[in-house]
Structure 1
Amino acid sequence: MKCIFCGEEFTLEGIRSTCGSCGESRDCDKVRCPACGQDNPRVKELITMMNDLLKSNE
């Protein structure tokens, strides 16, 4: 994923240290950037994977 605020690229594994610290339920629809701490809308892994494939074919 790429943070829409700071542009940092991060993996879903990388956000485990920052996500969940706000106390919201596990069904949260946001992902917290480990670099800047801003909440980004959650993107399904499949969409992310498809975007990566499209970028690699450019």
Structure 2
Amino acid sequence: MADLLITQVRSTIGSRWKQRESLKTLGLRKIRQSVVREDNAQTRGLLQVVRHLVTVEDVK
């Protein structure tokens, strides 16, 4: 299964509680911080909530 490189590009200031919790669950705390996560339904659901705060790239 492929992995995803997730990078936070916008701040959580002014965002809703659920969006902040989703970023925390993904392991993102700071702008321009990146993490690699497995591409599965749980990760895709978290990304759907914060799609305007992050960028996502495929990692082979």
Structure-1-length-normalised TM-score: 0.27
Which of structures 1 and 2 has the bigger CA Rg? 1
Q: Which has the higher helix share?
A: 2
Which structure features the higher share of strand residues?
2
**Structure 2 length-normalised TM:** 0.26
